Amino acid sequence: MRDWYSSQETPYTQAEDQLWAVIGKFRGESSLRKGRHDLIQGHVFIALPFITKREWEEKGLHLSPASPNTIIFADDLEPDLLRKRLQEVPAEEKQEAITDEQWTLALAVLQGAPVLRREPRPEPSKRNTKAFMLRQVEQQMLSIDREQHRVAVQIPSGPQRIRGLAGSGKTVVMCMKAAWMHLRFPSWDIAYTFYTRSLQGMIKGLISRFYRYWADQEPDWEKVQILHGWGAKDAPGIYSTVAKAMKRSARTFKEAKNIFAHRQYNELLGRCCRELLDSGEEIPQLFDAILIDEGQDFHFDFYKLCYHALREPKRLIWAYDEVQSLESLSIPTTIDIFGTNSDGSPVVDLEGTYPDGEVEKDMILYRCYRTPRPVLVAAHIFGMGLLRQNGAVQFIPTAGGWEDIGYEIIEGDFTPGSRVTIRRPETNSPHILEKLAGYQSLVQCKSFATRQEELSWVAQQIERDIKQEELKPEEILVISLDWKNMSSDFAELRQILASVGINSIRPGEDTEKGVFQKKGCVTLAGIFPAKGNEASVVYVIAFEQVDSNPHLVVQERNQAFTAMTRTRGWCVLTGLGKKAERLFKEIEQVLQNPEQVTFLAPDPKVIQRNLDNLEYERRRNRIKKAEQLTSELARLLAEIEDPDIKKRLIEQLQGSK
């Protein structure tokens, strides 16, 4: 207490209050209660790391009412001694044995997983319906795995990239990270930005729920701001906020399109950001952290503007999925995005870890929780065109690259023309629906002679989903890949659905900005507003549009991938004529064997897009080298016979980087 701001503290009472707050989280789970009895016990310790037990006793404090089992002294802070001390609790407070399932649930509660629970689904009136199977899926509590939790609660002292495939929980992890930052550092100005406007409501809801779960109060929305990348009159964005701070008028999308000719949306935003960067004025440092969701869709100049708008140490954190890029063909390195300093060193370096040795600069989420395994594998193989008649359009050319997204290599060395066989283990796609419904039944393909026949059949299936399969209308999403005729096709589909009493909406037209789904309504959307959202059943119509433009084959394949992976249940693909049938053969071939997919490795010279880069390879080599060193250290330690020497070496290794 020397030089402390107070002469007296009550740490035991404070810790006890916190303990009961934690125990209260467990009490909300019936599986962690036995009648009125809590299965999860707790004990309060007070650590005095600068005071030895002898000093305590010399002061006569061991005669005070404080329990000896409550205090941890300086001489208890060796690993083995500390473990022993933590086990010395009164018999009535000892933790009784719990099952593996209860242990997993208890960890999930501590991590905040109850936030992810959906509204309880009513008991379906019939068994073996889609609603019945989804209820079983949802009763398995949504959890946050160890890697997701590690990524979410680490606060880097600089830039950080979080890579992950569709459905790996990138948005959940990013929202959790934003809430955690706000909780830990309430004075920080934090911005969360994104590309798809319809994601705004979901992002704000997740950040709010995580923060309220931990802090029992609403976030300070002045300190943590949800900002679209561009912004609009009634909804500020990163670009418009920076422009306003510079006392400049932010360009609208329409204005930018007229000035910069007909360019893609992300390029138009990039040109607007470049104007600010080239203005000669200093970019104001407005934020302590910026989190960029859907990072693959933003232009390099948007990243640069965000970087300049940050205070030191430039906490720019972005989530990235190469396969979901709908406009760009490049897989950039940080040098491509941010450039180099005058000495040639990269402005942003994602190599290794930050000085504390624990927070990685580049992290990967490779488990997929949303999309069932058959849908994800079919979408990946189709998206790359690995079974395409005219050859693949994009490819991951290394075993390590496939392992990064959760696959195992059964055979093949990836040399051009060689036979490669891969599989996706269930551990990396732990979705039980494939067992309940059957692997092949989760993806359905059907072709038609006319669009009218296609729309009529889709409407019939939606009616069946609602009336026989007992799904709610808002659980159903229809995505069209035909952007030219989408408005007229959706108008016809809405009319057919309305004739059988089913309401539907178009996000952005029938809903407020940032709202994608509406209770009691089927959602009809193009691929851009659908991206980042999900549904229990996804119908992808006009599938024949894939490969229709030879200059946009990669983008069209990525759109198909993104559309398919919006589902957390079933995926139905429909299209017209022989063209659709030819495309469906690729998908049906993937679904034949749930345990492996075989293809010929394409020549890198003929594919349009390489889904890998030097930074990814360097990261894999660094991790491989670390694993080899760890293995060699373990072998050497096993040969040391003296237990004291071995113990000292282990302690030194644990304390090193």
CA–CA gap between residue 385 and residue 235 (Å, rounded): 39
Quote the pLDDT of residue 145: 83
Tell me 257's DSSP state: H
What is the CB-side half-sphere exposure of residue 255 using CA atoms within 13 A?
7
Distance CA 322, CA 329 (A): 9
The Cα 202–Cα 205 span in angstroms is 5
Q: Which residue has the higher pLDDT, 444 or 624?
A: 444
In 515-642, which residue ranges form alpha helices assigned H by DSSP?
Answer: 527-530, 553-564, 577-591, 614-638
CB 174 within 8 A of CB 317: yes
pLDDT at 391: 94
Over 90: is that where the pLDDT of 171 sits?
yes
Give pLDDT, residue 416: 94
Say how far apart CA 425 and CA 408 lie, in whole Å: 7
Q: DSSP readout, 75-121? A: GG-SHHHHHHHHT---GGGPPPP--HHHHHHHHHHHHTGGGGPPPPP
The Cα 387–Cα 381 span in angstroms is 7
Q: pLDDT band at 357, cuts 50/70/90?
A: low
- Token pair listed for 153: 């609660």
How confident is residue 66, by pLDDT bands cut at 50, 70 and 90?
low
Q: How many CB atoms lie within 10 A of CB 552?
A: 15
Euclidean distance between CA atoms 366 and 402, whole angstroms: 10
Superfamily (CATH H level) for 146-365: P-loop containing nucleotide triphosphate hydrolases (3.40.50.300)
The domain defined by 373-603 folds into Rossmann fold (3.40.50)
Q: CA-CA distance, 534 to 537, in Å (whole number)?
A: 9
How is the chain split into domains, by residue range? Answer: 12-116+129-139, 146-365, 373-603, 614-654
Distance between CA 363 and CA 169 in Å, rounded? 13
Reading the block at residue 441, the tokens are: 């039944």
Separation of alpha carbons 502 and 523, rounded Å: 11
- Tell me if residue 616 falls in helix, strand or coil: helix
The proportion of the chain whose per-residue pLDDT surpasses 70, expressed as a percent, equals: 98
Angstrom CA distances, 560 to 529, 547, 556, 557, 571, stand at: 14, 10, 6, 5, 11
Write the DSSP string, 382-407. Answer: HHHTTT-TT--SEE--SHHHHHHTT-
Confidence at residue 463, expressed as pLDDT on a 0 to 100 scale: 98
Peptide bond into 313 cis (omega under 30): yes
pLDDT tens readout for residues 447-483: 999 999 999 999 999 999 999 999 999 999 999 999 9
- Given a cut of 90, is residue 237 above it in pLDDT? yes
Give yes or no for residue 592 having a pLDDT over 60.
Answer: yes
Distance separating alpha carbons of residues 318 and 178, to the nearest angstrom: 12
Going by their DSSP bridges, the two strands 190-194 and 503-505 should be labelled as unpaired
pLDDT at 415: 94
Q: What DSSP character marks residue 426?
A: G
Question: Residue 414's closest CA among 604, 197, 639?
Answer: 604
pLDDT band at 174, cuts 50/70/90?
very high
Calculate mean pLDDT across residues 70-93. Answer: 88
pLDDT of residue 123: 85
Say if residue 201's pLDDT is above 80. yes
The whole-chain average pLDDT of the chain stands at 92
201: its two tokens: 């409501």
Among 339, 308, 304, residue whose Cα is nearest residue 246 = 308
Mean pLDDT of all residues in 28-49: 88
The pLDDT of 484-488, averaged and rounded, is: 96
User: What's the pLDDT band for 330 if we cut at 50, 70, 90?
Assistant: confident
Closest by Cα among 482, 532, 471 to 507: 532
Percent of the chain with pLDDT over 90: 69
Categorize the per-residue pLDDT at 351 as very low, low, confident or very high, splitting at 50, 70 and 90.
Answer: very high
Task: Give the max Cα distance, the chain.
Answer: 93
- 259-281 residue pLDDT tens: 997 678 999 999 999 999 999 99
Instruction: Name the band, by pLDDT with cuts 50, 70 and 90, for residue 117.
Output: confident
Q: Does the pLDDT value for residue 513 go beyond 80?
A: no
Q: How would residue 363 be classed by pLDDT, with cut points 50, 70 and 90?
A: very high
Q: Kindly report the CA angle at 48 between 42 and 50, in degrees rounded to 5?
A: 155
What CA–CA distances, in Å, run from 547 to 73, 393, 482, 505, 587? 69, 10, 12, 28, 14
3 state SS for 38-53:
ECCCCCCCEEECCCCH
CA atoms within 13 A on the CB side of 402: 25
The H or E element spanning position 377 is helix 373-384
Residue 653 pLDDT greater than 80, yes or no? no
Q: Is pLDDT of 512 > 90?
A: no
Write down the pLDDT at residue 262.
67
Predicted local confidence at residue 141, as pLDDT? 62
Task: For residue 649, give both structure tokens.
Answer: 């070496």
| Residue 516 CA, distance from chain mean position | 19
Q: Report the pLDDT value the prediction gives residue 130, as an integer from 0 to 100.
A: 96
CB 541 within 8 A of CB 454: yes
- What one-letter code names the amino acid at 298? F
pLDDT value at residue 452: 97
Residue 34 CB partners (closer than 8 Å, separation 6+): none
Lookup result for tokens 């209820």: 135
Q: Indicate the pLDDT class of residue 509, thresholds 50, 70 and 90.
A: confident
Most confident of 130-139, 478-487, 612-621: 478-487
| pLDDT tier for residue 656 given thresholds of 50, 70 and 90 | low
Tokens of 43: 């004990």
